[in-house]
Amino acid sequence: MILKASQRAGGQDLAAHLMRADENEHVRLHELRGFASDNLKDAFKETEAISRGTKCTQYLFSLSLSPPADARVSIETFELTIDRIEDRLGLQGQPRATVFHTKEGRAHAHCVWSRIDAETLTAKQMSFFKTKLTAISRDLYLEHGWSLPRGLENSAERNPTNFSLAEWQQAKRQNIDPRWLKQAVQDCWKQADDCKAFEHALQDRGFFLAKGDKRGFVVLDHGGEVWSLPRLLDEKTKDVRSRLGDGEDLSSVTDTRKMIGARMTPAIRRHIEESRDRFVQRSAQLGRKKEDLTRAHRAARVEQEERQKREWDLETLARAGRLPKGLRGLWHRLTGHYQDVRRLNEEEARRSAIRQAEERQKLADRQREERAVLQERFKELRKEQAEQLLDLRKDIGRFLKFTRGVDPPSQGRDTGREQSRAPSLHLKLER
C-alpha cells in the first residue's frame, strides 16, 4: 500500500477536494473523530481556530492510502492500517477524519489528523514521518503478499520516469503524458554517444535540442513547449555537459520555435487533428458508459444504505422491547436477568453491524469488478492513442529532417502565426 503524507494548512480547500464527487465515482465520509462538527469543512475550521492560539501554521497532517490496483482491501484493513500509522507517528487520540474514494474502479482512502493538542496548545512533532511511512508501507506489502515495488525494495531502484509536481502540471497543460515523455528522451540518451547523435535521435521522435537561456540544455516538443533536459534525464547538469559539450552550436529556443512553426505542413497538421478527433469521439463514448455505470452504482449504494438503516431501526426497536420496564424491569435488574437480556442485545447488534458491513463490502467488490471491465477498455484506448501519437511524432521528425536542406527556417512575419496554429498531440491523462 503506497502511503503519501504531508503537513499542511488550507483546511477548507482540502475538505472541498476530499468531498469532490466529480473526480471520484464514489465518495464516503467514513469517520469524524474528536470534532464537534458533523461535516468535513466545519471540522477543519475547528482545527484552524484552535491553531490560532499556537505558532503552528501547518495544523493538519494529511495521509493518502493507495493499495495495489489488483488488490481487494476491506474497510477493516484500511482502519487497522490507519490505527497503526497513528500509533507509529504519535498521533494517538488526535481528532481525525477518514474519507474513502473510488476512482477508475480503484478504492483508496484519505485520513487527516489535527496536529494541535487542544489541552497544551502545542503541535505534534512529525519528525521523519516519510521514513516511518516507507517502513510501514514495505511491511504492508510483505504482510499481504503484494508484489513489492522496486522503489520499496531499494530506494536506488526507483522508477526513473517518476516526475515532480511541477513537471506533471506542465505536462497536463499540454495534454502530454510526462511518463512517456521522460522515457522517450531517456531512450534517446542511452543510444547516443555525442551531441549530434543525441540531437538526431530526438528529432526522430519529434523533439528538438536547444540552448536555454538559464537552464543550459533544453528540449522542445513539436508544439514549442520547453523542457529541462537534466530533469528529463534525472542527470546532473555537469554530467549532461560532459557528454554534449557547451552547446554553443545549438539554436536558441526562439529560433527553434520559429523553425518548428515554419515546417509544420498542412498534411501533418491534418493527420494530427484526425487522430485527436478519433480519440476524443471514442473516449466520449466510453465516458458516457462510465457515467451511466457510476450513476447505477451510486443508486445501488444509496438503496442499500436506506434498506440497512430501516433494518437497523426495526431491529433496535425489537431489542428495546425485550427490556422490561417498571416494577418488572426492577425485578429483572435485581435477579440479573436484565443484564443477560442486555448482553444478548449487544451481541445481536454487533452481529448485525458485521453483517451489514459485509453486505457493503460485497456490493463494493461486485461494482469494482464491473468497473474494471470498462477500465480495461480505457487503458486499451489510451495505449492505442499513445502508439498512434508516437508514430506521428516520428513522422514529424522525419519530415523535418528531410526538408532541412530545401526548406530553411523562415524568418518572415508568418512564422509566429504558423507556430501558434500548430496543433498539439492530445493524450488524455485520466477519465
Tracing cell 508484489 back to the chain, one arrives at 147
| CA nearest to 206, candidates 423, 394, 408 | 394
Summarize the confidence of residues 368-393 as an average pLDDT: 80
Question: What number of other Cβ atoms are within 10 A of residue 102's Cβ?
Answer: 20
Whole-angstrom Cα distance, residue 15 to residue 64?
14
pTM of the predicted protein model: 0.49
Tens digits of per-residue pLDDT, 20-40? Answer: 888 888 888 999 999 999 899
147 has a pLDDT exceeding 70: yes
Summarize the confidence of residues 337-357 as an average pLDDT: 86
Tens digits of per-residue pLDDT, 81-116? Answer: 999 999 999 999 999 999 999 887 788 999 999 999
Tens digits of per-residue pLDDT, 38-83? Answer: 899 999 999 999 998 888 999 999 999 998 877 888 888 999 999 9
Backbone angles phi, psi at 73, to 5 degrees: -110, 125
Place 226 in a pLDDT band, splitting at 50, 70 and 90. Answer: confident
The DSSP bridge partners found for residue 220 are: 208, 226
Summarize the confidence of residues 259-284 as an average pLDDT: 71
Whole-angstrom Cα distance, residue 260 to residue 222?
6
C-alpha separations of 348 from 227, 306, 317, 352, 353 in Å: 63, 20, 13, 6, 9
The DSSP bridge partners found for residue 64 are: 4, 110
289 has a pLDDT exceeding 60: yes
